[in-house]
């Protein structure tokens, strides 16, 4: 199996700080912010196929848990708006979705097969946020991170389209060890702690927020392995593995590693060749690795034995080399991962050039120069690292100074189903009624687009809506009308 056959995507909820405003204003501010996007976009998201309460284990939750603190931010008597008004969905001309998700502007990349493309499309999202901030007209900070350091977290989620026959029972044990261990290569780093005892610095922004190994929640009592069953495709054929335990990364190499490693694990699960690691106490282990300054990254296994994250990750890399049909990008991913693991374990220079947490830790440590990590200044530096403002952000300064490795960005492009969406909104937007990940609705046509719709670069050259619809049907789209 080729890992690149797994369709992938990233959705990032950004932190939003509007001068003089607070969390009680945040839902309205985020909606207004999204509506300020100055580029071309289509308005008319199709919500028919959303099912956030469906669980991979075969049941549906009555409701999703809410963080009780957030309820205190709600203003009694605030004007009632529809869910669509609050979300303010925009579909961008590259096929991405941009909307307000629980008070956070969220950019969801178009789905694609290439890791380098995904990183490029995620990078476009940063530009979208910067352009929107510039057009918003109010002094605003946008952060690509996952915490406010006061106990509120927001996500950077990944999607991996997998065969339905894998099911929870095969996916969970195959993916969980990877989700716990990959943080040492992909964590964004965080000053302090929002659960348990204080720690000056830890690897993961999200580790403090996990309560269970697996469940369908995302806002409260979050799991390491999210069981939301919302395929955005034919649910009889596909599962969309919805990963919520990763960090939002500033360094594009970290993003590349974050998705590439899980994609290898998904491909191994699909061919039934996953390394077998039965991690004892997964939540505690995730947290312990995040806080391990010794870099031992020990993992206790069921039955009393133990291992470590280096060995677990290497087992996935070795299995992938042995049984998967790897392309050049996969081979490069494996090579880079091994180099970084060696450098981390042997404390050699190098990881700071590709791994966010290492760069952030070194930078803050230097800037503090002996000052107390608890002073608040260290967390302000942490925030500044993730500041998207290219004139103020610390990560952009590291890039400028050559302290991190430049990522070989490709020109971003939509492909397959995403290209059909991009062409629909940018060329036929005036005639389009609604759009979602897997649907396009025109007058007289309700098209279901399969996720494996063949890529057709000629779509942009079609002149009429009728030709466009006909071409999509010939490619495999189904007209439900």
User: How many of the other CB atoms lie within 10 Å of CB of 4?
Assistant: 18
Minimum gap (Å) between residue 449 Cβ and another protein: 25
Asked if residue 226 lies in contact with residue 173, where contact means CB atoms within 8 angstroms, the answer is: no
Buried b / exposed e along 294-305 (16+ C-beta atoms within 10 A): eeebebebeeee
Query: Catalytic: which of 29, 46, 89, 101?
Result: 101
Of 321-350, binders to another protein (CB under 8 A) are: 343, 347-350
Q: Judged by CB, which is closer to another protein: 146, or 183?
A: 146
Q: Does 102 interact with another protein (rule: CB under 8 A)? A: yes
Q: Does 16 interact with another protein (rule: CB under 8 A)? A: yes
Among the listed residues 200, 167, 155, 196, the one whose alpha carbon sits nearest the alpha carbon of residue 15: 155
Minimum gap (Å) between residue 144 Cβ and another protein: 13
Minimum gap (Å) between residue 13 Cβ and another protein: 4
User: Which of 76, 79, 80, 198 forms a contact with another protein (CB under 8 A)?
Assistant: 198
Among the listed residues 377, 375, 391, 386, the one whose alpha carbon sits nearest the alpha carbon of residue 17: 386
Q: Does 1 interact with another protein (rule: CB under 8 A)? A: no
Continuous H helices in 81-166: 83-87, 115-136
Buried b / exposed e along 387-410 (16+ C-beta atoms within 10 A): bbeeeebbbbebbeeeebeebeee
User: Which of 218, 249, 337, 436 forms a contact with another protein (CB under 8 A)?
Assistant: 218
Q: Does 38 interact with another protein (rule: CB under 8 A)? A: no
Binding mask 154-183 for another protein (x = CB under 8 A): xx-x--------------------------
User: How many of the other CB atoms lie within 10 Å of CB of 54?
Assistant: 18
How many residues belong to the site for another protein (CB under 8 A)?
82
Minimum gap (Å) between residue 255 Cβ and another protein: 18
Is 300 annotated as catalytic? no
Asked if residue 395 lies in contact with residue 97, where contact means CB atoms within 8 angstroms, the answer is: no
Minimum gap (Å) between residue 333 Cβ and another protein: 22
CA distances from 49 to 24, 102, 264, 439, 474 (A): 30, 19, 28, 9, 23
Among the residue ranges 91-99, 122-130, 187-195, 406-414, the one whose residues contact another protein (CB under 8 A): 187-195
Q: Does 461 interact with another protein (rule: CB under 8 A)? A: no
User: Which of 82, 236, 328, 401 forms a contact with another protein (CB under 8 A)?
Assistant: 401
Q: Kind and range of the H or E element at 367? A: helix 356-368
Binding mask 63-92 for another protein (x = CB under 8 A): ----x-xx-xx-------------------
| CA 215/CA 239 separation, integer angstroms | 15
Q: Judged by CB, which is closer to another protein: 236, or 401?
A: 401
Minimum gap (Å) between residue 242 Cβ and another protein: 10
Q: Which residues, in sequence order, are bridge partners of residue 448?
A: 439, 478
User: Which of 3, 9, 95, 103 forms a contact with another protein (CB under 8 A)?
Assistant: 103
CA distances from 307 to 177, 435, 473 (A): 11, 47, 52
Of 229-288, binders to another protein (CB under 8 A) are: 244
Of 120-139, binders to another protein (CB under 8 A) are: none
Asked if residue 241 lies in contact with residue 202, where contact means CB atoms within 8 angstroms, the answer is: no
Binding mask 345-384 for another protein (x = CB under 8 A): --xxxxxx-----x--xxx-xxx-x---xxxxx-xxxxxx
Q: Judged by CB, which is closer to another protein: 194, or 273?
A: 194
| CA 306/CA 28 separation, integer angstroms | 49
Minimum gap (Å) between residue 70 Cβ and another protein: 5
- Residues designated catalytic: 101
């Amino acid at each position: 199996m080729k890992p690149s056959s797994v369709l992938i995507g990233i959705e990032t909820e950004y932190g939003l700080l509007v001068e003089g405003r607070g969390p009680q204003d945040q839902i309205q501010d985020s909606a207004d912010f999204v509506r300020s996007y100055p580029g071309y976009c289509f308005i008319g998201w199709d919500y028919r196929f959303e099912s956030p309460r469906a669980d991979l284990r075969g049941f549906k939750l009555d409701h999703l848990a809410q963080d009780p603190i957030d309820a205190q931010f709600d203003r009694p008597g605030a004007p009632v708006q529809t869910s669509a008004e609050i979300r303010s969905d925009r579909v961008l001309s590259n096929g991405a979705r941009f909307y307000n998700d629980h008070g956070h502007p969220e950019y969801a990349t178009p789905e694609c097969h290439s890791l380098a493309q995904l990183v490029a499309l995620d990078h476009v999202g940063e530009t979208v946020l910067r352009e929107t901030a510039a057009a918003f007209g109010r002094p605003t900070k946008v952060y690509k991170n996952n915490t406010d350091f006061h106990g509120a977290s927001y996500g950077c989620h990944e999607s991996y389209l997998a065969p339905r026959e894998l099911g929870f029972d095969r996916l969970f044990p195959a993916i969980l060890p990877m989700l716990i261990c990959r943080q040492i290569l992909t964590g964004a780093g965080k000053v302090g702690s929002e659960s348990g005892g204080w720690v000056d610095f830890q690897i993961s922004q999200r580790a403090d927020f996990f309560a269970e190994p697996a469940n369908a929640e995302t806002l409260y009592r979050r799991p390491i392995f999210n069981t939301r069953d919302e395929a955005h495709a034919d649910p009889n054929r596909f599962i969309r593995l919805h990963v919520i335990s990763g960090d939002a990364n500033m360094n594009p190499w970290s993003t590349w590693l974050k998705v590439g490693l899980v994609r290898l694990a998904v491909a191994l699960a699909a061919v039934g060749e996953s390394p077998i690691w039965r991690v004892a106490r997964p939540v505690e282990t995730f947290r312990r690795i995040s806080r391990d300054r010794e870099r031992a990254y020990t993992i206790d296994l069921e039955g009393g034995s133990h291992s470590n994250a280096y060995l677990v990750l290497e087992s996935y890399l070795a299995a992938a080399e042995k049984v998967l049909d790897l392309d050049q990008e996969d081979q490069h991913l494996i090579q880079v991962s091994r180099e970084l693991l060696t450098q981390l374990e042997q404390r050699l220079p190098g990881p700071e050039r590709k791994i966010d947490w290492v760069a952030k830790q070194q930078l803050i440590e230097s800037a503090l120069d002996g000052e107390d990590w608890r002073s608040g200044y260290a967390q302000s530096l942490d925030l500044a690292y993730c500041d998207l403002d290219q004139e103020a952000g610390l990560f952009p300064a590291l890039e400028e100074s050559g302290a991190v490795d430049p990522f070989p960005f490709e020109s971003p492009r939509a492909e397959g189903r995403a290209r059909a969406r991009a062409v629909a909104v940018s060329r036929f937007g005036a005639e389009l009624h609604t759009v979602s990940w897997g649907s396009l609705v025109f007058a007289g046509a309700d098209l279901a687009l399969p996720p494996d719709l063949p890529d057709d670069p000629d779509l942009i050259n079609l002149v009429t809506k009728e030709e466009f619809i006909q071409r999509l049907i010939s490619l495999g789209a189904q007209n439900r009308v």
